Amino acid sequence: MVRKQLLFSIFLLLASGCLAVHAQSPSDTLASKQTKNLFFNLMKLKNKGIMFGHQDDLAYGVGWKYVPGKSDVKEVTGDYPAVYGFELGRIELDHPVNLDSVPFDKMRGFIQTAYQRGGIITLSWHLNNPLTGKTAWDPAEGTVASILPGGEKNELYKSWLDKVANFIVTLKDKNGVPIPVILRLFHELNGNWFWWGGDHCTPEEFKQLWHFTISYLKDTKNIHQCLYAYNTDRFSSKADYLIKYPGNDCVDVLGFDIYQRKGGAEGNEEFIKSADTMLTMLTEIASERNKIPALTEFGYGQVPDSTWWTNVLLKALEHHKISYALAWRNAGFKPSGEAEFYLPYKGQVSEKDFVKFYKEPNILFQKDVNYKMVYE
Ligand code: BMA
């Protein structure tokens, strides 16, 4: 009897182990080997530290564009980021360059370069409004409903997904192996500024849009090199975060975006408190669901505070085990004369402090992670 009970206990233990391993797999059951490895390694690496990322890092920075090998992060720290964000907006229109003027051909090259050294790729998509033909920031009512199956723009939307799929399948390494990407669809989904956001669709419509999109990419287009990120803006509670959550079977990364808008001690405190509180909720939600927690986008425009990195950002991050944090783009000076950047460049006021931040053992850049650690 005792022996039987013991055997049964061993069986239960093994079974729960298998289930746990299964539950910790990418949502795409046909995900490629490297994509599966990326998922497992992102889970694992969060115990080592937070990987630092930057949007469009290799494409341009403040005062330069398309200089091979250049990066504002590298100019300041001597190292590249570990995570590289790129943007697909305008691919749906067959444009050769995205909405921030990055040629898709160059983008493919940057992605291949980054992948080779063990960089992690995440793609956002500020797709135009398919109902009105205006930009992603045109929140016309009824847009989401119009692109769902049966809607008047469903065919158009499918043709846009075809174009995204066509680009993704060209992302291969030199041996023809598909490069895994984290697809950050319908980001900032609880904000009211994008047509897919906030009150512009019901939670049900949003979930349908998510399921339709992912199933189209996986099942119709046969794309199996993606992890999918569910990505809100600021949120107030776990329930608030999950209002439009489409389900554990179609999400891999859980993230949110946050920007510091106010300066001075008060602004700093508010940022630390908000980010810290949300990261606590996010990591709980992610661990309950075996998903990868990440700060999918952040920034403090023009970083006017010379110690923002160690005095503010680090304080917000340091108690949390998240996989990565992606700073937004160093767009530089626009024709209007206004500058948009979120990371220091040579000579910028927060440059020295960013180097201090770089040296933090729990903040990881490219030299801390390599191909083997991420994709094998
Ligand atoms: C915004 C700004 C814009 C940019 C858009 C899409 O946050 O950086 O300048 O066009 O993202 O990348």
- Tell me which of 107 and 5 has the higher pLDDT: 107
Question: Number of C-alpha atoms within 13 angstroms, CB side, residue 8?
Answer: 5
Mutate to test the pocket of ligand 1, among 102, 126, 128 (most ligand atoms within 8 A of CB): 126
- Residue 21 Cα, ligand 1 centroid: separation in angstroms? 38
263 Cβ contact list (under 8 Å, min separation 6): 304, 305
- Tell me which of 262 and 13 has the higher pLDDT: 262
- Residue where the block lists tokens 């939600």: 285
85 neighbors 110 (Cβ within 8 angstroms): no
Mean pLDDT check: name the lowest of 14-28, 275-289, 338-352, 355-369.
14-28
- In the prediction, which pLDDT does 322 show? 98
Cα-based distances in Å from 80 to 71, 73, 106, 280, 339: 7, 6, 18, 28, 23
Q: How far apart are the first and last CA of the chain?
A: 44
Q: What is the mean pLDDT of residues 19-44?
A: 87
Answer whether residue 372 shows pLDDT above 90. yes
Answer whether residue 74 shows pLDDT above 90. yes
- Residue 149 Cα, ligand 1 centroid: separation in angstroms? 30
Mean pLDDT check: name the lowest of 1-5, 82-86, 113-117, 140-144.
1-5
- In the prediction, which pLDDT does 18 show? 42
Mutate to test the pocket of ligand 1, among 62, 128, 329 (most ligand atoms within 8 A of CB): 329
Ligand 1 atom at minimal distance to the Cα of residue 126: 6
Mean of the per-residue pLDDT values of the chain: 95
3-state secondary structure of 162: helix
374 neighbors 39 (Cβ within 8 angstroms): no
Q: What is the mean pLDDT of residues 362-369?
A: 98
Residue-wise pLDDT tens digits, 180-192: 999 999 999 999 9
Residue-wise pLDDT tens digits, 132-154: 999 999 999 999 999 999 999 99
Q: What span, in angstroms and rounded, lies between the C-alpha atoms of 362 and 14?
A: 33
Residue-wise pLDDT tens digits, 51-66: 999 999 999 999 999 9
- Residue 35 Cα, ligand 1 centroid: separation in angstroms? 28
* Residue with CA at minimum distance from ligand 1 atom 3: 100
Ligand 1 atom at minimal distance to the Cα of residue 334: 9
Closest Cα to residue 326, out of 350, 298, 300?
298
155 neighbors 118 (Cβ within 8 angstroms): no
Q: What span, in angstroms and rounded, lies between the C-alpha atoms of 221 and 47?
A: 35
- Residue 85 Cα, ligand 1 centroid: separation in angstroms? 12
Residue-wise pLDDT tens digits, 321-351: 999 999 999 999 988 989 999 999 999 999 9
List the structure tokens of 350: 């927060």
- Residue 99 Cα, ligand 1 centroid: separation in angstroms? 8
Ligand 1-lining residues (CB < 6 angstroms): 87, 99-100, 126, 329, 331, 340
Q: What span, in angstroms and rounded, lies between the C-alpha atoms of 181 and 172?
A: 11
- Tell me which of 14 and 180 has the higher pLDDT: 180
Q: What is the mean pLDDT of residues 6-27?
A: 56
Answer whether residue 119 shows pLDDT above 90. yes
- In the prediction, which pLDDT does 3 show? 56
Residues in the chain: 376
**CB burial readout 28-39, b (16+ within 10 A) else e:** beebbebbbbbb
Mean pLDDT check: name the lowest of 9-23, 61-75, 305-319, 322-336.
9-23
- Residue 232 Cα, ligand 1 centroid: separation in angstroms? 16
- In the prediction, which pLDDT does 335 show? 86
